[in-house]
A and B are shown apart, each in its own frame.
Chain A
């Protein structure tokens, strides 16, 4: 069975600095998708970034980028120039490449941004 692990329950970063959130996953599949979701205090889940496993190039969305290491089954999220609004729970998630399969979420990392 596929699993997603986030080994950092809590992280903190100084405003304007860079922070990296870790995620590892376990799968025997070769084709799949990986996601990072953000859940601010409002509790609305927001998609931050997506990575297709067949793509070697790491995904980037403005200040958010990932380091995807397929062989190591690692998918970390880097937040550059951290802002107060980045404070939230961050969930790493995995989905197989089938038409309806469910997304498996990690336990989350709580990120605090220190002004």
Chain B
């Protein structure tokens, strides 16, 4: 069966510090991968998605970036965090190809920028 991991679970970082959130998927190959942000009491905002190694599509221009160095690894980064980057970050995966259906979510990372 497939599992998705995210770490860290909780992170408190000062403004201007760098960020690296990691997401890995087990039990499947060449998944589509997604990063979402969810502000408190709000819906999900798609940040990035990837359909393969090195292929990243950005949905929202901001000071965040994403990378996919390996098939089942997706990293969300920032060089300098802003207060507005606080939120709950969710990684998700989906099957690739024409049989792709729903997305499966990781447990999330709660980021607080102080």
Q: Which residues of A are at the interface with B, using a C-beta cutoff of 8 A?
A: 33, 35, 43-47, 50, 91, 95, 97, 99-100, 102-108
Q: A4: nearest residue on chain B (CB-CB)?
A: B43
A44-B107 in contact given A35-B102, A105-B44 (Cβ < 8 Å)? yes
Give the interface SS of chain A, mostly helix, strand, loop or mixed.
Answer: loop
Number of A-B contacts (CB under 8 A): 51
Contact of B98 among A91, A99, A105 (CB under 8 A): A99
Question: Which residues of the partner chain B approach A100 to less than 8 Å between Cβ atoms?
Answer: 32, 49, 51, 96, 100
A33-B88 in contact given A100-B96, A105-B43 (Cβ < 8 Å)? no
- Tier of interface size on chain B: 20 to 34
Q: Are A45 and B101 in contact (CB under 8 A)?
A: no
- A108 smallest CB distance to B (angstroms): 5
